[in-house]
Structure 1
């Protein structure tokens, strides 16, 4: 569903100079360099539920208040379990879950952070589930049960528990080529933060938390949406890197339902860069389609135009090829039985993950060809963090 909730356009787009201490500060001197934002594409759940435990947390009550201000009713559940989300078929279950937002308390396992190679030192979650309809969805087969979007009410406790992990990272903070990022915390493994922000306010609070955290740390999240105006005035102090997931037109237009247009995502990247944020591209999933050089060349031309003339640009790229597991393929075919997404094991190479799980990737020669082309055609100002 696409609605305009009346968010005013920013009067100017801030630039990114530095003060005497080296911190980035926000001004409005370069407003003319960024295009005005288009009306935001925002998800409106058909059903919002809250567990009893969510009412014990201040942030849970804040989320409920935001939701009710948007004219949505919050249904209080009788127990802390989510039930009644399954339909008669896989498609019915998918439809019911994807239109539901649940305000819950995070399970204890979510509070024990795990490394998240190759993106960041640590993964933490403020939500689980995504309202988009990407036919290659990375969450398929990774999360158990119906794909309902769960928003965590105990945000303040989650953010408060991060300090004990600072300086202890092993994935990025010990690599010489990424030492400047400090201890990195990834917050978008199991959700798209920007898709939920108008309902929760969670990620603005996270950006504020990292901005006020006087330590060598960085918050990282990625999105397929463009509704960034609520972040332009945040005192982030350069400690949040927002990456935009982009793809060439045949992939984005066919397989990424319910998301913002790629052009709008790139315009949002520009606005955040002008506001002093480190920014990034997550080009994923890369697919060797017919005429893929032409299609991805057009995408990279859009990227180059979006970052042209940006002062002090800090731009990274994460390059991720398409892969799938037997479990994710089964789930995706249940969700999207008529998908045209290529998942042919005969055209792939079998690979075993860290814990022995099977996944199907492109053959070695194809991977090498794709990698060479992308690393040779990205804008010179773009730093590649990893290829996988």
Structure 2
């Protein structure tokens, strides 16, 4: 997964305890000091990097300081998006939105000021008080997504940032952490989250995952981990995401639901819920993918099925056409009710 050979670091990050720990993990890496973690010309915005897309993710690491701390309201997957402890990913999912913001590669950036981030989250949760009413995020607790811009299971290979947050939420009675993952990191089983962290394993039919979920854990391995994570004290949900419409797509999802049903026990079933997210793609990412993984675009870029929509940041996204998408969503949620009726659909869009 990772073979870190070069670390780009901000001087302030390298002076912090967490920064020193990260640097000590990779004593053979070449160190390159940079003024800012998000302005590194040889990594970001260089079109020639598309030919080294995966290699950069595997070999480069950025160490920085998170300067802006905020908890953004969300309302679907979580009540709030917590300040990031990392950004970027070592995996190479063809539909990932993070590269849209970072240019032609998005290696992991680890933020070394974890004490500031943890303190902010703790104070923010305290200000919320007791959740006045349940919602689709959770019936009781305020939910904080701690991995919006990265995969926390992979981040945990590089630093203790994620573990620090999981341990922090043990002691916040009104809130819980949450993150989605496509990587099975069994080191997390020893963290004793005491029910205060929700892990959302992302699932899709294996045939789709083989083409789109590059450098991730196989779907069967993710399903096999669910019971173990429940036994270790995590709340475990699943993300059916992204749902890609293609010939035979409903039959493929039916097989996946049967695979999930056969792979988990009663304890997992009793607490299982899901999020259903249909594909949204991006024109700029489409152009990037054509440079390194054009086969994926045969599934992702379907103008005959999709309509354009201008995003808030001004770029053009595509999603399944209004009207047709509603039928797709209904068909899949009906299939969930038929095949895995115990799995509550938290939201579907």
TM-based fold match above 0.5? yes
Task: Answer yes or no: is the 8 Å Cα contact 1:159–1:206 preserved in 2.
Answer: yes
Q: Aligned-pair distance for 1:145?
A: 6.3
Alignment match, 1:121: 79
Alignment of 1:75-86 (within 5 A): 75-77=31-33, 79-80=35-36, 82-85=40-43
What is the root-mean-square deviation of aligned Cα atoms in Å?
Answer: 2.7
Alignment match, 2:101: 142
Q: Aligned-pair distance for 1:338?
A: 4.8
Q: Is 1:133 the counterpart of 2:92 in the alignment?
A: yes
State which of 286, 300, 317 in structure 2 corresponds to 1:359: 317
| Structure 2: 5+ residue stretches without partners | none
Q: Distance in 1 between matches of 2:156 and 2:311?
A: 33
Larger fraction in helix? 2
Q: Distance in 2 between matches of 1:45 and 1:154?
A: 21
Alignment of 1:1-388 (within 5 A): 42-68=1-27, 72-73=28-29, 75-77=31-33, 79-80=35-36, 82-85=40-43, 89-92=48-51, 94-95=53-54, 97-109=56-68, 111-123=69-81, 124-144=83-103, 146-166=105-125, 175-211=134-170, 213-228=171-186, 230-310=187-267, 313-339=270-296, 340-353=298-311, 358-378=316-336, 379-388=340-349
| Residue 196 to residue 47, structure 1, CA distance change in 2 (3 Å) | same
Alignment match, 1:37: none
Task: Answer yes or no: is the 8 Å Cα contact 2:244–2:300 preserved in 1.
Answer: no
Q: Aligned-pair distance for 1:373?
A: 2.9
Q: Distance in 1 between matches of 2:47 and 2:300?
A: 27
Q: Distance in 2 between matches of 1:330 and 1:116?
A: 29
Q: Aligned-pair distance for 1:358?
A: 4.3
| Residue 214 to residue 189, structure 1, CA distance change in 2 (3 Å) | closer
Task: Answer yes or no: is the 8 Å Cα contact 2:50–2:104 preserved in 1.
Answer: no
Structure having greater relative contact order (Cα 8 Å, sep ≥ 6): 1
| Structure 1: 5+ residue stretches without partners | 1-41
| Residue 108 to residue 365, structure 1, CA distance change in 2 (3 Å) | same
| Residue 99 to residue 58, structure 1, CA distance change in 2 (3 Å) | same
| Partner secondary structure for residue 225 of structure 1 | coil
Q: Aligned-pair distance for 1:176?
A: 3.8
Task: Answer yes or no: is the 8 Å Cα contact 1:127–1:191 preserved in 2.
Answer: yes
Q: Distance in 2 between matches of 1:338 and 1:264?
A: 24
Q: Aligned-pair distance for 1:175?
A: 4.8
Q: Distance in 1 between matches of 2:308 and 2:164?
A: 42
| Residue 77 to residue 356, structure 1, CA distance change in 2 (3 Å) | closer
Q: Distance in 1 between matches of 2:182 and 2:196?
A: 21
Q: Aligned-pair distance for 1:139?
A: 1.6
Q: Distance in 1 between matches of 2:254 and 2:269?
A: 25
| Partner secondary structure for residue 61 of structure 2 | strand
Residues 59-68 or 132-141, more deviating: 59-68
Task: Answer yes or no: is the 8 Å Cα contact 2:133–2:139 preserved in 1.
Answer: no
Q: Aligned-pair distance for 1:178?
A: 4.1
TM-score (norm 2): 0.86
> Paired residues, what number?
339
Residues 351-360 or 372-381, more deviating: 351-360
Task: Answer yes or no: is the 8 Å Cα contact 2:169–2:197 preserved in 1.
Answer: yes
Task: Answer yes or no: is the 8 Å Cα contact 2:310–2:316 preserved in 1.
Answer: yes
Task: Answer yes or no: is the 8 Å Cα contact 1:173–1:183 preserved in 2.
Answer: no
Q: Distance in 2 between matches of 1:235 and 1:303?
A: 25
